[in-house]
Amino acid sequence: MSTHELLPEPYKIKVIEPIQAISRAQRQAAIDAAGYNTFLLRSDDVYIDLLTDSGTNAMSDSQWAWMMVGDEAYAGSRSFEHLRDAVQQVYGYRYVVPTHQGRGAEHILSKCLIRPGCVVPGNMYFTTTRLHQELAGGTFVDVIIDEAHDPDSQHPFKGNVDLEKLEKLTLEMDISKIPYITIGAPVNMAGGQPVSLENLRQVSEFCRARGIRVVLDAARAIENARLIQEREADQAGRPVKDILRDMCSLTDACTMSAKKDAFANIGGFLAVNDEGLFEEAKNLCAVYEGLHTYGGLAGRDMEALAQGLREAVERDEWVAHRISQVRYLWENLKERGIPLVHPCGGHAVFVDARRFLTHVPQSHYPAQSLSAAIYLDSGVRGMERGIVSAGRDPETRQEHEPELELVRLALPRRVYTQSHLDFVADGLRKTWLRRDEIPGLKFVFEPRYLRFFQARFAPIAAKARGGKREAALARGKQG
Ligand SMILES: *Cc1c(COP(=O)(O)O)cnc(C)c1O
The residue extents of the domains of the chain are 24-53+317-478, 61-314
- Spacing, Cα 306 to ligand 1 middle (Å): 18
Would you give the distance in Å from CA 245 to the centre of its chain? 21
CA distances to 144, 156, 297, 414 from 191, rounded to whole Å, are 13, 12, 30, 20
457: which strand partners? 443
DSSP 340: B
127 is catalytic: yes
User: What stretches of 136-174 show up as alpha helix (H) in DSSP?
Assistant: 163-172
Residue 443 three-state SS? strand
- Spacing, Cα 268 to ligand 1 middle (Å): 9
Does 61-314 carry CATH code 3.40.640.10? Answer: yes
Count how many Cα atoms sit within 13 Å of the Cα of residue 11 in the half-sphere of its side chain: 22
pLDDT at residue 463, as a whole number? 59
201 is catalytic: no
Atom 5 in ligand 1: residue holding the nearest Cα: 102
Q: Give the other-Cβ count within 10 Å of 5's Cβ.
A: 9
423 is catalytic: no
User: Contact, 292 vs 285, CB < 8 A?
Assistant: yes
**Rounded Cα distance, 261 and 314, in Å:** 13
Residue whose C-alpha is closest to residue 284's, from 92, 99, 76 = 99
Count how many Cα atoms sit within 13 Å of the Cα of residue 91 in the half-sphere of its side chain: 35
241 CB-near residues (< 8 Å, 6+ apart): 90, 225, 313, 314
Atom 10 in ligand 1: residue holding the nearest Cα: 102
Q: Is the peptide bond before 18 cis (omega within 30 degrees of 0)?
A: no
pLDDT in tens, the chain (479 residues): 445 689 999 999 999 999 999 999 999 999 999 999 999 999 999 999 999 999 999 999 999 999 999 999 999 999 999 999 999 999 999 999 999 999 999 999 999 999 999 999 999 999 999 999 999 999 999 999 999 999 999 999 999 999 999 999 999 999 999 999 999 999 999 999 999 999 999 999 999 999 999 999 999 999 999 999 999 999 999 999 999 999 999 999 999 999 999 999 999 999 999 999 999 999 999 999 999 999 999 999 999 999 999 999 999 999 999 999 999 999 999 999 999 999 999 999 999 999 999 999 999 999 999 999 999 999 999 999 999 999 999 999 999 999 999 999 999 999 999 999 999 999 999 999 999 999 999 999 999 999 999 999 999 986 555 445 554 454 444 43
**Rounded Cα distance, 255 and 253, in Å:** 7
User: Contact, 179 vs 114, CB < 8 A?
Assistant: yes
**Rounded Cα distance, 20 and 385, in Å:** 27
- Spacing, Cα 107 to ligand 1 middle (Å): 12
**What is the number of residues in the chain?**
479
Residue whose C-alpha is closest to residue 440's, from 339, 380, 363 = 363
DSSP 144: B
Strands 380-381 and 253-257: unpaired
Atom 4 in ligand 1: residue holding the nearest Cα: 102
**Rounded Cα distance, 38 and 34, in Å:** 7
- Spacing, Cα 184 to ligand 1 middle (Å): 10
- pTM of the predicted structure, to 2 decimals: 0.94
126 is catalytic: yes
- Angle between helix axes 197-208 and 163-172 (nearest 10 degrees) is 20
Q: Is 265 in the pocket of ligand 1 (CB under 6 A)?
A: no
Query: Which residue in the list 213, 241, 260, 408 is annotated as catalytic?
Result: 260
- Spacing, Cα 56 to ligand 1 middle (Å): 13
User: Contact, 233 vs 202, CB < 8 A?
Assistant: no
pLDDT at residue 475, as a whole number? 45
CATH number of 24-53+317-478: 3.90.1150.10
**Rounded Cα distance, 183 and 143, in Å:** 10
| Alpha-carbon torsion, ordered 144, 149, 152, 157, to 10 deg | 20
**Rounded Cα distance, 191 and 220, in Å:** 13
Residue 103 CA: which ligand 1 atom is closest?
Answer: 9
385 is catalytic: yes
Atom 12 in ligand 1: residue holding the nearest Cα: 219
**Rounded Cα distance, 122 and 180, in Å:** 9
**Rounded Cα distance, 418 and 332, in Å:** 11
